[in-house]
Amino acid sequence: VAHVEIDPTQYSEAWDRLMGDWMPQSGYQPDDLMCYEIYLNSPDKHPEGKHIVEICEPIRPL
């Protein structure tokens, strides 16, 4: 799970960081289960309009 605070245009970048930066050095690989996002706030109530999200990628050891 990656906890991120992002602008609406940064979802792709957040997923790229998880899968391209963290995953290769983590000792894990993606599992066959579906990935998903958990939305933790209402961006219109955030002072900067940010989305607070948990990005969830099921994993398994290499």
For position 34, what pLDDT does the model report? Answer: 97
For position 50, what pLDDT does the model report? Answer: 98
Tokens 């599992």: give the residue: 31
Q: What is the pLDDT of residues 29-46, one digit of tens each?
A: 999 999 999 999 999 999
